[in-house]
Structure 1
C-alpha cells in the first residue's frame, strides 16, 4: 500500500454551521434579511446572471432547497454541461467545482467559498501520483472522481463509488492497477472483483472514516429491524458485511450504496426505519424522497466542515460579486476530461460519490 499523504483528519476543524434564523425569519446573528427575502434575492440574481445553482447532497438544507439541482458531484457537473446557463454556481467542495469546469470549459464556474476543500482529495497530489506511477511502470491508474483536476489529468480512467467495480472489471485481469485515493472504496472493489493486483492508495475522507465499526454495531443493535445504507467510503463497511454474513443483521437489509444509490433505494423503501452511514447532509434528501420512512444517521456527528463552509450568506455574496471563480488550465482540463470520458464510455457512470 502506498504512503499516505498528510490529511486534515488529525486537525480539529471547527464545523461552520449555517447562520440561525429566529422565529421572525430575521438573521439573529447579523440582522440581515429574512429567509424569504434571501431566497428571492438569490433567485433574482441567478436569473440576471443566467446562472444555474448546483448543490451537493451534503450541503446545508437551506442551500439544497434553493438550488436548481441537488445531487452528487459528477451528476451535477454533467447537468451543468447540458444546461444553457452562462454561469455555474457550485455549492460543494473545490474539486467538484473543478469537475464542473472540466466538463463545461466554456462556462464560468464559481464556488461560494474557494477554501472549501476535501480531506480525501487532499490525500494525494500530482507529484505523489507521479512518484507512485514511477514505482509501478505500466500500471493503469483508476482515480475516484473525488480528486483534484491535476490528479485526474494523470489518470487513465476515473470511476465513481457506484461504478468502480465495473471500471476495474473492464481492465485486463492481468493488468496491474493503481486505485486512488480512498482505501475503503479500494478495499470494497478488491472484495467484489476478487482481484489481487490492485494497489490501493491509503487515503480517506475523515468524515466517512470516522463512521466507525463501533458506531455501526451500537446503532444496528439498537434498531434490529431497520434497513442499513452504507457508503463504501465508510470505515464500518467491512464490519457491516461481516455482521450480514454472520447473520447478526439480515443480509437483504444491508446495502452498500453511493449517494445516488441511496436516493434510489429510499424512493422504493417500505421500511419503517433506515440507518444511514454517510455524511449527515444526505438525510435531508432521503427524507424528502420518502417522508414515510424514518432515516437515522449511524453517526450523528458525521458532518463535513468543508461542505458547511458554503453558507447562505456566501452564496448570496457569490451571486452579487462573482466570487470565487474556478479556473483549470486547458492542458490539465483536456487530460482530466479524457479520463472522465473513458469512464462514461465504459457505461453505467452512476453517481459521483
Structure 2
C-alpha cells in the first residue's frame, strides 16, 4: 500500500512509520535506527528521486554503508558532476555540498542537514580574504577545498591536502602566496616546498587540531611496531615528523597522508597495526580496505559533531522532502569553478582532503 503526499514521491507505510519516529533537536535529526528496513527504504527513495547518495569518509558507518559512493569531498564532487542522476544527496558538511553544486550547477544538490557546518571553513570569511588580499596586492591566493563557495570565488587556485605541494610548486617562485585556511596544512606545505614567500592563515579544524603531539608520541611509544598515518590538518603532524627525525619511530613508518592517501597506504601496508591520526569516521573505510590490519585511532575522541549530524533520520527526511537543497549564486559558482578547475588541471587531485 502507498500513500500520496505533497512530496513528489509515493511513500510506503514503512516510510511513514519510520518518519513517525523522527525527532529534531539541536544536535540534529534522531529517532530512526539504521536497520536493514531503513536502508532498503533509503535506496528505494533514492531511485524514485533519481538521486545518487554520496558519503564522506568521516560519516557514520551506517551512512557510508548505504551510500552509492564513499570518498573525500573533491572526489565525491567530481563523481557528482559525472553522475547520470539529476539529484545529488551529499552526506558531508556544507562546504562539500557547495563544491558539488559548483561543479554540477544544473543538478539538484541536497545535504541531509543544512546545519552541518565546518569549523575550518568558518575560520575565514570572504570579507577576511578581501582584506588580506588588499594588504598583499599581487599575491596568489591558494585555498584548500575546505572553504566556502564565496572564498573559492576569491581564490586563484584551490588545492587538496594531497596536491597542495604540487599546486604551490606550480606557482612562479617570485610570486607571494596567501595560503588558507589551515595553518597545519600550510606549515606542512611550507616545510616541504621550502617556500619563504608563503603566508599562512591561522585557521584550523577543531577536531584535527585537538589530536596533539603528546598523545601521538605516547601511542607510538606503546605501539612500537605500528605504522603512523597522520593527516596534515592535525596538530600532531609536526610531532610525527620530529619523532621520525629523532629515530623514535622509523622514518618509513610515518606517513603524512590525505584521506584518499590513507586508503591507498592501507591496501599497501605490511604492518599488522596502524595508528591513525584523523577524524575517527575514517577507521570504517580503512578497516574495509584492509581487514587484516588493526587500525586504531590516535585519539578516539576525534569525532566531528557536524559530520555526525547526518544521521539515518536526516538522510531519510532529505530524500522524502527534498531537503535541504544547496544553492550557490551563479556568479559565485562560476568564479569558484575556475579556481577548482585550475587545481584539477595540475593533476594529483583525486586523493582529496
Distance 1:154 1:50 in 2: 33
Is residue 34–residue 62 contact of structure 2 (8 Å, CA) maintained in 1? no
What is the Cα deviation at residue 346 of structure 1? Answer: 1.3
Q: Which residue of 2 aligns with 1:251?
A: 251
Distance 1:15 1:285 in 2: 28
Residue by residue, what CA displacement relative to the aligned partner does 1:300-342 show, whole Å, maximum 9, x if unpaired?
1000000001000010000001110000010000000000000
What is the Cα deviation at residue 297 of structure 1? Answer: 0.3
Q: Which residue of 2 aligns with 1:162?
A: 162
What is the Cα deviation at residue 351 of structure 1? Answer: 2.5
Is residue 185–residue 232 contact of structure 2 (8 Å, CA) maintained in 1? yes
Q: Which residue of 1 aligns with 2:144?
A: 144
> Secondary structure of the residue that 1:326 maps to in structure 2?
coil
What is the Cα deviation at residue 18 of structure 1? Answer: 9.2
Q: Which residue of 2 aligns with 1:212?
A: 212
Q: Which runs of 4+ in 1 moved over 3 A?
A: 14-19
Q: Which residue of 1 aligns with 2:14?
A: none
Q: Which residue of 2 aligns with 1:24?
A: none
Distance 2:137 2:294 in 1: 50
Call closer, same or farther: CA 1:53–1:120 in 2, change over 3 Å. Answer: same
Distance 2:234 2:76 in 1: 22
Q: Which residue of 2 aligns with 1:270?
A: 270
Corresponding position: 1:173 with 2:173 = yes
RMSD over aligned Cα, in angstroms? 1.4
Is residue 190–residue 196 contact of structure 1 (8 Å, CA) maintained in 2? yes
Corresponding position: 1:35 with 2:35 = yes
Call closer, same or farther: CA 1:133–1:61 in 2, change over 3 Å. Answer: same
Q: Which residue of 2 aligns with 1:25?
A: none
Call closer, same or farther: CA 1:202–1:33 in 2, change over 3 Å. Answer: closer
What is the Cα deviation at residue 78 of structure 1? Answer: 0.0
What is the Cα deviation at residue 17 of structure 1? Answer: 9.3
Is residue 15–residue 304 contact of structure 1 (8 Å, CA) maintained in 2? no
Residue by residue, what CA displacement relative to the aligned partner does 1:207-229 show, whole Å, maximum 9, x if unpaired?
00000011101111110110000
TM-score between both structures, scaled by the size of structure 2: 0.91
TM-score between both structures, scaled by the size of structure 1: 0.91
Q: Which residue of 2 aligns with 1:323?
A: 323
Is residue 98–residue 149 contact of structure 2 (8 Å, CA) maintained in 1? yes
Aligned residues: 329
Call closer, same or farther: CA 1:263–1:172 in 2, change over 3 Å. Answer: same
Q: Which residue of 1 aligns with 2:48?
A: 48
Q: Which residue of 2 aligns with 1:23?
A: none
Q: Which residue of 1 aligns with 2:11?
A: none
Q: Which residue of 2 aligns with 1:312?
A: 312
